[in-house]
Amino acid sequence: MNPLTNGLISINIITMTKLQRITTAEAVVNYINNQIQEGHLKPGDSLPSERNLVKDLGISRFSLREGLARLSALGIVYTQQGKGAFVTTELNPESLRQVFLPAFSGSKKKIYDDLFVARRILEEEISAQAVAKRSEEDLQELQQILEETGRSIDEPPRYASLDSQFHKVMANISDNLFLQKMLELVHNYIQAFVVEHAKDSSCRQVGYQDHLRLFECIKNRDAEGIHHAMSTHLAHFKDYYERRLGNLDS
């Protein structure tokens, strides 16, 4: 029995309870999320074919592909050319639901306010370490990410992936294993919201400019400037998060 057939009601409920506040692509993301949580899809499993998903879910091929692109950006599924889409083997189904909370629910606002405070403290220290420890090779890697980001400014899923990669490389430059692992933990919780944030064209432009300023501070070893640049960058991100929650609650 096709495991997706058992969940057809759930996708309708998700869409209805949001009163059309989410797109069809977002409903696809929620649907696959539920299938994994309920054990119908397990790490390493192949998703049904695109044709079957379109037919079973009653959606367009475009909406399905957009939803799968977001799942891929989150690291939940991956695709192999000619073979289809698969659930990533590193996925932890028990924590998957938490990954989606910041993007789709306002019920945990206090938790995520605390999370953003922790992120600010962590990333300000990481950026300061990057200023002190960066090498020419590190600068080349960051510049390469920025150049690719500029080329992908109109591709939200790709932009979201590069956004996270930029922060990960800064953590690697810090050469501190604990900072790297703590940042990985924080980003696991906010990654879904990073994808949502990247859907807004103005947010992509602002985020890209923020990253350029961060890069210049790291390049010039500007310890004072990097603190301001990172604080401003995270403030922009949090402002969008709060506006997003406000829209969901209105």
For residue 209, CA distances in Å to 74, 170, 214, 215, 229 come to 23, 16, 9, 10, 10
Residue 161 lies in a domain: yes
In a domain, residue 96? The reply is no
CATH of the domain at 62: 1.10.10.10
User: How far is Cα 230 from Cα 240, in angstroms, rounded to an integer?
Assistant: 16
pLDDT band at 163 (very low <50, low <70, confident <90, very high): very high
Structural domain span for residue 49:
3-91
With cut-offs at 50, 70 and 90, classify the pLDDT of residue 1: very low
% of the chain residues with pLDDT over 90? 37
pLDDT digits (tens, 9 = 90+) for 83-105: 888 988 765 544 444 444 444 44
Task: Say if pTM beats, i.e. exceeds, 0.85.
Answer: no
Above 80 in pLDDT, residue 66?
yes
User: Are 146 and 245 contained in the same domain?
Assistant: yes
Same-domain check for residues 73 and 124: no
Whether the pLDDT of residue 20 is over 60: the answer is no
- CA–CA separation, 187 and 119 (whole Å): 9
**pLDDT band at 113, cuts 50/70/90?**
confident
pLDDT of residue 168 exceeding 60, the answer is: yes
User: Cβ(121)–Cβ(208) under 8 Å?
Assistant: no
More confidently predicted of 223 and 196: 223
Is residue 12 located within the same domain as residue 129? no
AA identity, residue 201 = S
pLDDT at 219: 97
For the segment 142-162, the average pLDDT, to the nearest whole number, is: 94
pLDDT recorded at residue 3: 37
Instruction: Give the count of domains, the chain.
Output: 2
